[in-house]
Amino acid sequence: MMNEKPIESLDCENVVSAVIRVRNAAAHLQRCLSGLKRQILPASYQLQVIVVDNNSTDDSLAVARRYGAAVVPVQRDEFTWGSALNKGIALAVGRIVLLLSSDTYAPDSRWLGEMLKPFPDPCVAAVYGRQVPYRDAPVDERVRLKKRFPPTSMRFDANNSDPHPSGRGIIVSNACAAIRRSVWQQVPYDEQISGGEEGVWSCDILKRGYTIVYQATAKIYHSHRDNPLKQAWRHWELRAREGLFSNGQSNQAASLRWLGAFAKRRLQNCLYPGVPIRSRVEGIAVLPVELAAFALVDFIPKKHMEPSKLKRLFWR
């Protein structure tokens, strides 16, 4: 059950903290918090919930408070994915901190118990769960989740992993993760990265000798269904993050190659086994619109404009 006591009165030895980032997603947050509320915790344990709100103008704040969550406000001009996490975790009192997207939903009461199972091993710094798509998930999301979150659990450490310094090939997905707060105190999230902050963090903790566990038995619903402009900006953020570490600079030829690769991947995904027919048809039908949106975002001059201001145009 979620806590009904003031945060300062909680005993950190018997608390699991949850940090959820949200912006104008009241309906999603309601579903997420209802799934959290029915989780079964060990006897005497409590769940502390912290919602990091990015200037929501809908009922997100009311939903958070109705479920007894502490609210951490973050202004749009100050927001980065890493800074929002750091602000939320700074308020956490539990030794283990859950990191969730507001659009996730735990379908049963056993999910949290499965997420916590690996932590008795002191080498485990982070655990991430298996994400399964919602029924309306687009084709790329269905294939991505199927490939990235297989039905078999895995362990990663410095001996069996060679992560790229940019975090390419994200290991821990912060849409559904649990981290040891003491490790975060050593390695907070990078607040300058435009997107995919968990990849760089994962790389760092593996180099420090910690272990990451993929817990396939901890299943949670999560998938994105963004409009073309928001999807385009999300992709640009990830590519910008990789550029920061490769010292590569975007140019027109590279952008055209990327657009071609995206179109090719979409067509391949539409042929992927197990994808519903409606998702295949939709994937092909919306491809021209998405390519146009990606080209628009990619070719807008960004040298003299702050990314946070540009983001407002596309991230609705």
Per-residue confidence (pLDDT) for residue 245, from 0 to 100 = 41
**Residue, of 100 and 311, whose pLDDT is higher:** 100
User: What are the strands, taking DSSP E only, across the chain?
Assistant: 15-22, 46-53, 70-73, 96-101, 124-132, 154-156, 176-180, 211-221
Which residues are bridge partners to 52 per DSSP? Answer: 21, 72
| pLDDT value of position 242 | 57
pLDDT tens digits for range 18-29: 999 999 999 999
pLDDT, position 253: 78
**pLDDT, tens only, 82-139:** 999 999 999 999 999 999 999 999 999 999 999 999 999 999 999 999 999 999 999 9
Beta bridge partners of 21: 52, 101
In the CATH scheme, what is the homologous superfamily, with its name and number, of domain 7-221? Spore Coat Polysaccharide Biosynthesis Protein SpsA; Chain A (3.90.550.10)
pLDDT of residue 83: 93
Average pLDDT over residues 241-248: 48
User: Would you state the pLDDT for residue 307?
Assistant: 55
14 confidence band (pLDDT: 50, 70, 90): confident
Mean pLDDT of 176-199: 91
pLDDT surpasses 50 at 248: no
State how far the Cα of 110 lies from the Cα of 40, in Å rounded to an integer. Answer: 6
Q: pLDDT (tens digit, 9 = 90+) per residue, 34-69?
A: 999 999 987 778 999 999 999 899 999 999 999 999
pLDDT at residue number 158: 77
- In this prediction, residue 238 has a pLDDT band, given cuts at 50, 70 and 90, of low
Given a cut of 80, whether residue 1 has pLDDT beyond it is: no
Domain ranges of the chain: 7-221, 228-314
The three-class DSSP label of residue 55 is coil
User: Which sign does the torsion angle of CA 27, 30, 35, 38 carry?
Assistant: negative
Whether the per-residue pLDDT at 211 is higher than 70: the answer is: yes
Residue 303 has pLDDT above 60, yes or no: no
pLDDT of residue 310: 55
Residue 5: pLDDT above 90? no
In this prediction, what percent of the chain has a pLDDT beyond 90?
Answer: 63
pLDDT tier, 257 (very low <50, low <70, confident <90, very high otherwise): confident
Confidence category of residue 254, pLDDT binned at 50, 70, 90: confident
Which pLDDT value is given to residue 220? Answer: 97
Of 1-15, 119-133, 199-213, 227-241, the one with minimum mean pLDDT is 1-15
Token couple for 73: 């406000």
Average pLDDT in the chain = 85
Q: Which residue, 117, 74, 138, 99, is CA-closest to 20?
A: 99
pLDDT over 70 at 167, yes or no: no
Contact 84, 174 (CB under 8 A): no
Diameter of the chain measured on Cα atoms: 59
- Whether the Cβ atoms of residue 293 and residue 232 lie closer than 8 Å to each other: yes
